Chains A and B, each alone.
Chain A
Amino acid sequence: MSATGIGARVVRKEDHRFITGKGRYVDDINRPGQSHAYFVRSPHAHATIKSVDASEALKKPGVLAVFTGADIAADKIGGLICGWMIHSKDGSPMKAGAHPALAQGKARYVGDHVAVVIAETLAQARDGAEAVVVDYEELPPLPDMTLATAKGAAAIHAEAPDNIVYNWHLGDKAATDAAFAKAKHVTKLDIVNNRLVPNAMEPRAAIGEYDDGDGVFTLYTTSQNPHVARLVLSAFIGIAPENKLRVIAPDVGGGFGSKIFIYAEETICVWAAKKVGRPVKWTADRTEEFLAVAHGRDHLTHAELALDGDNRILGMRVSTKANLGAYLSTFASSVPTYLYAPLLSGQYNIPSIYCEVDGVYTTTAPVDAYRGAGRPEATYVVERLIEVAARERRMDPTAFREMNFVRQFPHQTPVIMMYDAGNYPLALKTAMDMHDVKTFAQRRSESERRGKLRGLGYSAYIEACGIAPSAAVGSLGAGVGLWESAEVRVNPIGTVEVLTGSHAHGQGHETTFAQVVADRLGIPIENVSIVHGDTDKVQMGMGTYGSRSGAVGISAIVKALDKVVAKGKKVASHVLEASEGDIEFKDGQFQVKGTDKKAGFGDIALQAYIAHKFNGQELEPGLKEGAFYDPTNFTFPAGVHICELEIDPSTGATEIKKWTAVDDFGNVINPMIVEGQVHGGIAQGVGQALAEQAVYDKSGQLLTASYMDYCMPRADDLPSFEIGMITTPAPSNPLGLKGCGEAGAIAAPPAVINAITDALGHEDIAMPATPQAVWRACQKRPSRLAAE
């Protein structure tokens, strides 16, 4: 391994601009003649919009225009789309209501976009927005699933009269029922997966611009996938054909899923730029971000696990209600279905699984993919069930897991997935050794002497990354293919630009991708530049989410690099006067086998462009290759996290004392960056388990609309983490990569709750386990002795 190659802890190339304040985020950009947009948002959860009167607003200083739903309808601007078709059990398609970028006739959640005011300055736009008079007739607020699905509840969308978007299912119901019929023991749990707000530290922002000289729109946007944004804005919303719409996602300050989606605000900015003849800028303040960004999670689940007399798992039954919010966001429908139920087998041999999911409309912000997207919800179900089953059977939870682990690969689960590689017992053993589980009892006694309750919790998670192959996801209803593209441009002096359809918003692609290129081409890493985030530079791409940039994005680069080397060999065969078959490429040198005749990569690049040494009719000059890579399978990162914590029963405060994670991400390009991804994921998972929750009151107002009330994990809420890795390379891609971006957020919540319930001695606590919730749980008598 070289100092900068695959596997090296290379310090990030992109950091210089960030640590010197030279990062370039959307809000840092200002365009000549720029105006500012401010949205008039619904103060009601559910209301008919009887009229919008902008006459006073238009008289305010600096106000250039006010637009409403009627204006976008008049321009035939299409609604925002949901790009994954889900069919109900009865075969009927999901019942999706329209999602106009500015409300038409009805507002469906607090924060819904009713009108936009565009003015010379942001303050003037805001002044104008206050002067817009909207006549609302309030309708019943339906901020939770119980209210929305109650008999006689008002329909949020006429298309879904009972507010049910779909009744979907997966698995063999008859076989699962049969397994339960012969079970010796059944563990049952009711589970809440709390609603979260992603909270990337950079709030969303957009600048729309229109050049009426050549009719081209440009949108600067905080996107994880600018090409998908362009595709949707062109093909579905109808802003402009793709060749007349450039989308730029520059530095983006975190996404966690929330910046995948195509929202109303950027749609309006780019559309309105032509209407007002000026660039239009919008930047969310944090409260707008809370109100209108896509939220995550929000499931209510009943789950059952059937065991035989030897405590082997026979089957699992899961029934989930998933809150989808007031509109179907871009990938909302897929999250509680195909990104969820196929992971319910966990790391275990479960012969039969049946899962049914009701997707429910409520008068709340749309819910869509948030770090992990479906997989944290599935893992929470599985790992809580497993832990509780072990406790009920008075088995050591690790022995129970061991006994039921999948050990043979490939392994076909009853819920779609074919696990291709893994070593679950090794991860568990490694984690237990690292954590020094053996001495836990002593630490627990020591806590007890101080009046504290100590608990230990495990989470053995699996996830599916890459979200591929395209044909497979297409057959499940996806509206897009989930391949990735790459183009490797070798310059005449041998420096390389790699254009990728992946997008980095914290993941460090400019470093890891360059490591792969430097390693494969044998050139210095400084000679490699990674280009992403601009549809005028990169032709097409699917973006970054679902931990796919390694397994899919890098695989595309590797495929293109292979083509570059193949072409280089052709050029080298002329330069070195040997047959192409005799040319080897190694460590940056093209060499004639068995001789000392060789030429460096840079020399061959130059020769490819000079084109003097070969016939340009037989071999094209130049050295530039592109590739599209479509995976052959999902990848299956897996691992074991152990959480050890201490509860102060007099206040309910919980302190995490020790955290050990052992993950199998297959081969790793840059361990430093991978560990960083794990750290961040754990923090978000701990946040979900202990602190974070979006709360709507009965009238549908969001009570947690700032950091005063939405609890973000801070440095003193978390410990340092012990991170270990094991490696079983993924067989489905050339470098054996699996993906690491979401693992921590998937693994952490059940580890925390299993530790808390271990400390409490009973299972009666829901996420988030806030001090109040834990204190209340401490008032309840343990149902079992903690030491068991």
Chain B
Amino acid sequence: MKGFERLNPLSAALYYLCVLGLSMFSMNPLMLVISLFCAVLTCIADGTVKARGHLFALILFIVAAVLNPLIVHKGATVLFYLNDRPFTMEAAVYGVTAAVMLTAALYWLRSLSRVFTADKVMYLFGRISPKLALLISMTLRYVGLFKYRFRRIRDAQRALGLYDDGNLIDAVRGNARVLSILITWTLENGIVTAESMEGRGYGSGRRTSYAPYRLHGTDAVFMLLTALLTAIAVAGTAHSSAVFYPELNFDLLNPWGIAGTAAFSLLSLLPLILNAKEAIRWRILSSKV
């Protein structure tokens, strides 16, 4: 596990919330390009996205970029006419910006789904409600158990010559039979689980919720930094403007705008920085040996 992934899930959740929020709600082309660049880099660095994933993202990018000027005909600068419809520069720029946003969000979400394992999601729910966390955990166990048992029952019935999926009606009938057995079996066995829970003190009073994660000093620093950078970036976005129609009119490089973009760049690079720091320390430590 690397530095970023080792953070408390709460820190990671806050981080993705900020980065994704800023990437999706600001139409600041400069920030979006930085966002996309950092997201792609993050995904490549920890091997989340393979060649096929990149190809998919590229196709998505092209489709999104081309679609807007084909559909939207607003804008003052007409580049050419297609089927008697104007193809404008403004619509094209807007399309590319939107495509950058979409692709950046895609990459951030991929990174998120890699970092947030089921355990971490559980932990977050557990912070909200310990009962909900237990319910999810039990449900997850049952999903696997059901699948396994469904297969066992289907096999047993098939070997009795009672399950046949040769045609639709037989398949429906066969599966209904399997499902019926599955439910009886599970309900009967549920008593044992209930007893096991009760025998281990379930319902004996207030519960606590345990999770193998702690909030460290690093998490506090990380969360503060994330919040601070996000605040600056939001302020920067508020003070800069990007108007696409009828004419392109960008005011991005005023002092606030520059500060906001810089803060956002740093924010987007945080996972990479955390992981790189660890890699460098690893090098130093191992070279000393």
A binds B: no
Chain B residues with a Cβ under 8 A of chain A: none
Chain A residues with a Cβ under 8 A of chain B: none
